[in-house]
Chain A
Amino acid sequence: MFGKLIIYISSFAFFLSFLLFIFAEYYQNHKYLKYAKISFFSATVCILLASLFLVSNILSHNFTLTYVWSYSSRNLPFLLLLSTFYAGQEGSFLLWALWMSLVGLVFFLYLKKHQLGYLPVSFFSLAIFFVVLIIIFKSPFENIWESFPESDMPKDFVPPDGRGLNPILENYWIAIHPPILFLGYSLVTVPFTLLLTSFLEKNFEKYTIAASFWSLIAAGILGLGIMLGGFWAYETLGWGGFWGWDPVENSSLVPWIFITALIHSLLIQRIKSTGFRISFLLSWLAFLGVLYASYLTRSGVLSDTSVHSFVDPGKTVNILLLVYLGVFTFFPLILFITRAKFVPEIKERIKINSRQFMTYVGAVILIIASIVIIVGTSLPIIQGFVGAKKVALEPSFYNQWMTPIAFLILIFNGISLLLHWRETPTNTFRNKLIYSIVPSLGIAVIFLFIPRSNLLYSLLIFSSVFSLIINGEKLLNKLSMRNLKIGALLSHLGISFLIVGALLSGGFEDTQTIQLQEGKISRAFGYELHLLKKERIEIEKPDREKYRFKIKIVDKDKNSIVYPIVYWSSFNNFEQPYYEPDIKTYLTKDLYLAPKSFTFNEFYSPISFKKGEILSAPWSEKDSIRFVSYDMSSMHFGKSQENFTFGIIVDYYIDGNYYKDTVLSLLNMKSGSFSPIWKNVPTKDFAIGFTKFTPEENLEKSTVELSFGQEIFIADVTVKPFILLVWIGVIFTVAGFIIAVFKYSMKRTQKDEHK
């Protein structure tokens, strides 16, 4: 009750805060302002309390809450347990609201410090209000007897344990990536509300510096969040790359592109007092991008086209999200139309050979990139509207578009840095241009002769090197003069590295499928791979069968070890294995080893017996195997109609010793197909598998078949050339944003001191 109540209060208070801040501004009334602040703070406190309340419920394993029961379980370690806060939709909305509130608080203090008035907080409150409103309908505080009304469950019923976190997410990355991403999303709201206010007040220059400052923070954090997701996908989830043009990835990228374009237009706004309309539109689009992303990724519309899984949140939430999107599309549009004519016009013509012009062109290209991504991602929705035939868009669509777009961005970035803001004398420009074009062209031509290269790739390399030389030279110049205003240069340098890294690691990757078998050598790309051993890990956890494969990679005479992982989990009734890749990183490439599947090499003919029988072992007359009983314990973990796991307990008698073990298999009721989970026979170098079950009228009379042999582990080995450049690029880019933010706040304080 408490949880729901504070959410209600919070949504009411945020709405009140939205109204009161407007009234306070309109009537210039201190009393209204006081009440506005009170409601804003109490709303924020309510969200904090709600979050703490959910955390305490999660930590205390209160499974009477459907949300806690759905996503957590008793066996989770602390950090993962804490992360189940946002493992489901309800909690992710709360996380969003929490970050919005915290950002709102800091934003409020910022406005106070710089005496910019509180009107932006009004719109900010409205933006949070909608998120909180969604939490009312999609509440993490629902009791389990409310969620299943048809079950006539007693109200004091407490499930013994929760369903647990999807094992795919059981990784420290889940504690890092989503919070940063959501913080980025929340920060995007700030520049939007600032520029919205500037249009409302017809005071177009008032918030330029504030908006720049907050856009830089937003772009830095959102960018970091996106790329950490990419790194997670690459390193642990085994999706093969860091970026796959998946709808979820795309929809997080679009706001980032808009906010990055905004940073550029705000720069022009600051220097030349022009471009107010473009800045407004960009900040607005960035914010709408966030709302659209949350709609796309939470509604079921994309479930067929994405590797991420989606759960339809229900009609109410979908409608609320659309209302949210609608309100923030309609009102800013009206405001824009009615206010655009008040924007001061500057009669000066923009010269083509000015940095201003080039920066605008860069922004336009970024917008085009966003449009391409939005249209591509929204295709299933568009098809749904027009009733067209269902088709799927290949990732090649994005690659074809983004290659020339990246080329243009890099070229314009390079050229713009060679130009002055207003106009540039042709001679100096030409000299500088030749300086950077000649080496770039040389490298591009050489690149053309590399196998699998093509003209488009070569052009991309040309533009990257071009931009690298210009940014790098300027960067070194500034550093040598002890000038630390290097944020922009560092970020652009990072983007060049990132693009080169993406091109080389994606366009020139190569995969070979190998079979690994204990005692045999496999070869790929000139490396020798030895499967040393398969060891069970996390044995203390009964909900999983997890195996680590120790694989030695021999590179001439240097050896290294990788540990890919394969495991079965009760989360999906042991129905299908989960795979985790492992990576050997070299300076010039990554060797990416991703488990794919297993086959089996039969050593001895299979044996069949009934419960209670003893047979001599196929490998030795002296040894024997006894079929003790059936093991149905794994069936308790969950059930689906068709598939379930079932096992038999066997006693081995080997070389005078007794061993007990359970052999499991996945049974499909419909097809009768069996997928055994192979296990090593104690002390032997081969495995046992439960391969067949012939049912009779009861289990006592039924027969089982056991097979013996060696498992063959099939894996893809992929070479990713120069993927290190991608990570270096990301670090540079984000560091650039941080430096720029820092420099901005310094500038700001200096300015204040001058006053």
Chain B
Amino acid sequence: MKKYILIGGIAIIFLTLLLLSFNRNVIEYTDFQNAEKLNKKVQVVGTLVKEMPINYDPNTNYLEFYMRDKKGKVKFVRFNGPQPNNFTIAPEFVVKGNVQDTFFQASQIITKCPSKYEGELENLKK
């Protein structure tokens, strides 16, 4: 009996720890408006605003651009690094980071490349 209480106790502690660490290490997909409220690390999906300037300063290693989230809100984004792969042609991308005063400080930008070879049959026949 004692053995089972011990095992059960350990299992409960383990599960609690697991849940707690989920909460700490999980980052939500959200929009800019919500990100402003949350004040913690989140990820936002959106598109690049191409009409606005995209500026990379090689000396400070800062990339600055404007991004439009899925709800249409535009925000100034700052990223500590060069333009990632595929940045200007990716249909959409994800920024990870948090809102600071007036801008979104991104710690990571993940670009998804458009899927290739869909309906490529025409090409095949050539």
- Give me the interface of A with B, judged by CB distance under 8 Å: 148, 151, 153, 159, 163, 368, 372, 375, 379, 389-394, 396-397, 400-401, 513, 515, 571-573, 575-577, 579, 596-597, 599, 636, 638-640, 642-643, 666, 668, 671, 673, 675, 712, 714
Contact = CB atoms under 8 A, between A and B. Distances in A.
A114 to B, nearest CB: 37
A148 B121 CA distance: 8
Given A673-B88, A675-B89, A638 B117 contact: yes
Which among B87, B114, B125 has the greatest number of chain A C-beta atoms within 10 A?
B114
A401 B83 contact: no
A515 B84 CA distance: 15
A293 B106 CA distance: 32
Interface in B11-65: 14, 18, 21-22, 24-29, 43, 50, 56, 58, 61
A668 B82 contact: no
A392 B89 contact: no
14 contacts: A391-B27, A392-B27, A393-B26, A394-B27, A513-B81, A575-B86, A599-B82, A599-B83, A640-B118, A642-B91, A668-B88, A668-B89, A671-B88, A673-B88
A666 B113 CA distance: 14
A159 B18 CA distance: 53
Interface of A is mostly: mixed
A639 B27 contact: no
B82 A597 contact: yes
A396 B25 contact: yes
Contacts of B122: 639
Nearest to A390: B29
9 closest Cβ pairs, A-B complex: A397-B25, A576-B86, A597-B82, A391-B26, A714-B82, A394-B25, A513-B61, A515-B58, A597-B83
A638 B50 CA distance: 26
Interface of B: 14, 18, 21-22, 24-29, 43, 50, 56, 58, 61, 81-89, 91, 113-114, 116-118, 120-126
Nearest to B89: A668
A599 B121 contact: no
A645 to B, nearest CB: 11
A599 B81 contact: no
A159 to B, nearest CB: 6
Given A597-B85, A673-B50, A675-B88, A392 B43 contact: yes
A597 B63 CA distance: 12
Given A400-B21, A666-B89, A394 B26 contact: yes
Contacts of A159: 124
Contact of A393 (B25, B88, B118, B120): B25
Interface of B is mostly: loop
Contact of B29 (A375, A389, A577, A712): A389
A397 B85 contact: no
Given A572-B113, A597-B87, A599-B56, 4 more contacts: A393-B25, A576-B89, A639-B122, A668-B89
B116 A640 contact: yes
Contacts of B25: 393-394, 396-397, 400
Contacts of B120: 163, 638-639
A643 B121 contact: no
A525 to B, nearest CB: 15
B27 A577 contact: no
Contacts of A571: 116
A639 B123 contact: yes
Contacts of A575: 86, 89, 113
A698 B33 CA distance: 45
A372 B18 contact: yes
Contacts of A639: 120, 122-123
A699 B18 CA distance: 62
A97 B72 CA distance: 50
Contacts of B22: 379, 393, 397
A67 to B, nearest CB: 14
Contacts of A379: 22
Nearest to B56: A599
A397 B21 contact: yes
Contacts of B50: 671, 673
B4 to A, nearest CB: 15
A666 B87 CA distance: 13
Contacts of B116: 571-573, 638, 640
A576 B85 CA distance: 7
B122 to A, nearest CB: 7
Nearest to A399: B25
A714 B58 CA distance: 9
A400 B58 CA distance: 34
Contact of B123 (A638, A671, A675, A712): A638
Contacts of B27: 391-392, 394
A391 B28 contact: yes
Contacts of A577: 85
Contacts of B18: 372, 375
Contacts of B26: 391-394, 397
B43 A640 contact: no
Contacts of A714: 58, 82
Given A163-B117, A673-B50, A712-B58, A513 B82 contact: yes
Contact of A640 (B85, B114, B126): B114
A551 B3 CA distance: 63
Nearest to A160: B126
A151 B29 contact: no
Nearest to A383: B26
A712 B56 CA distance: 12
Nearest to B51: A671
Contacts of A671: 50, 88-89
Nearest to A151: B121
Nearest to A571: B116
Nearest to B87: A597
Given A151-B121, A159-B124, A397-B22, A643 B114 contact: yes
Contacts of B84: 596-597
Nearest to B54: A673
A572 to B, nearest CB: 6
Nearest to A715: B82
Contacts of B82: 513, 596-597, 599, 714
B21 A401 contact: yes
Nearest to B80: A513
Nearest to A639: B123
A499 to B, nearest CB: 20
Contacts of B114: 640, 642-643
A390 B87 CA distance: 24
Contacts of B85: 576-577, 579, 597
Nearest to B91: A642
Nearest to B7: A364
B69 to A, nearest CB: 15
B120 to A, nearest CB: 6
A290 to B, nearest CB: 24
